[in-house]
């Protein structure tokens, strides 16, 4: 199960603890850091990939509003503040939500569920729009990863099966997989498949587009775990 990462930024230890306790009640999110001011938060964000930032507004050194103005790129920002009068400023800076303290658990869950939906949509869009450049002879094709259903290795070449055509490119299967995100998964020494294209699994074979792809014993357990 994918877990989304969070940072809690608040100068009040009790406020940080409340958010931490709420997140611990959820399965899909985990806190990877807590900060007590905007400067610490900016430093942590600069070296960590974070999905959601719970951000207080009035903090020493650098306020939440000022921090949001300089963040690039921005995670989903959910303001947590005792001051409702900053809501307009927050949303003008593309804050995702605005929670006023004391934050109740139902209101928190409503906000985090909306955040999860947004993150899932973003993740899906990124996968669907992801491309790889495939060199075939003197031509370079831009191939959408979501259109690929089988990668078939033979020697130093790979056949890339799509509905449009089968591309043949000089690269090893392992090298090609390194440039591709999920849902591509190697299932055999000579084959990798798009998990989203599986029709059914029978014994040590997977059916995709009416083709039977062998699944090695070493990869079968990994495949079943990914489904």
Query: CATH number of the domain that 164 lies in?
Result: 2.40.50.1020
- Domain boundary among the residues 128, 161, 187 is at 128
Spatial CA neighbour of 140 closest among 172, 167, 117, 100: 167
Q: 99 and 167: one domain?
A: no
Name residues whose C-beta falls within 8 Å of residue 64's C-beta, 6 or more positions apart in sequence. 9, 38, 55, 56, 57, 58, 79, 81
Q: 140 and 44: one domain?
A: no
Q: 54 and 13: one domain?
A: yes
CATH number at residue 28: 3.40.50.2300
- Domain boundary among the residues 128, 154, 170 is at 128
Better-scored residue on pLDDT, 133 or 191: 191
- Domain boundary among the residues 128, 155, 174 is at 128
Q: 42 and 91: one domain?
A: yes
Q: 81 and 157: one domain?
A: no
Query: Per-residue confidence at 1, pLDDT binned at 50, 70, 90?
Result: low
pLDDT score at 103: 94
Q: 101 and 140: one domain?
A: no
Q: 112 and 149: one domain?
A: no
Q: E strands along the chain, which residues?
A: 4-9, 29-35, 52-55, 76-81, 97-100, 131-136, 139-144, 148-154, 157-162, 166-170, 184-188, 191-194, 200-202, 205-208, 211-214
pLDDT score at 175: 84
Share of the chain above pLDDT 90, in %: 49
11's tokens: 């100068």
**Number of domains present in the structure of the chain:** 2
Containing structural domain, residue 115:
4-128
Q: 124 and 152: one domain?
A: no
């Amino acid at each position: 199960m994918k877990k989304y990462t969070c940072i809690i930024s608040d100068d009040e230890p009790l406020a940080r603890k409340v958010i931490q306790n709420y997140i611990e009640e959820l399965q899909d999110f985990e806190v990877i850091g807590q900060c007590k001011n905007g400067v610490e938060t900016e430093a942590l964000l600069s070296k960590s990939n974070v999905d959601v930032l719970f951000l207080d507004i009035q903090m020493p050194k650098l306020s939440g509003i000022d921090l949001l103005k300089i963040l690039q790129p921005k995670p989903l920002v959910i303001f947590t503040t005792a001051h409702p009068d900053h809501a307009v400023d927050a949303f003008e800076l593309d804050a995702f939500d605005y929670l006023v303290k004391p934050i109740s658990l139902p209101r928190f869950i409503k906000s985090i569920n909306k955040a999860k939906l947004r993150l899932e949509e973003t993740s899906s869009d990124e996968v669907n729009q992801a491309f790889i450049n495939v060199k075939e002879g003197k031509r370079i094709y831009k191939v959408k990863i979501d259109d690929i259903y089988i990668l078939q290795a033979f020697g130093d070449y790979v056949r890339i099966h799509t509905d449009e055509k089968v591309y043949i490119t000089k690269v090893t299967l392992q090298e090609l997989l390194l440039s591709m995100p999920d849902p591509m998964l190697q299932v055999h020494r000579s084959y990798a498949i798009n998990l989203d294209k599986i029709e059914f699994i029978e014994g040590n074979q997977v059916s995709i587009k009416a083709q039977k792809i062998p699944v090695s014993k070493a990869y079968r357990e990994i495949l079943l775990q990914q489904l």
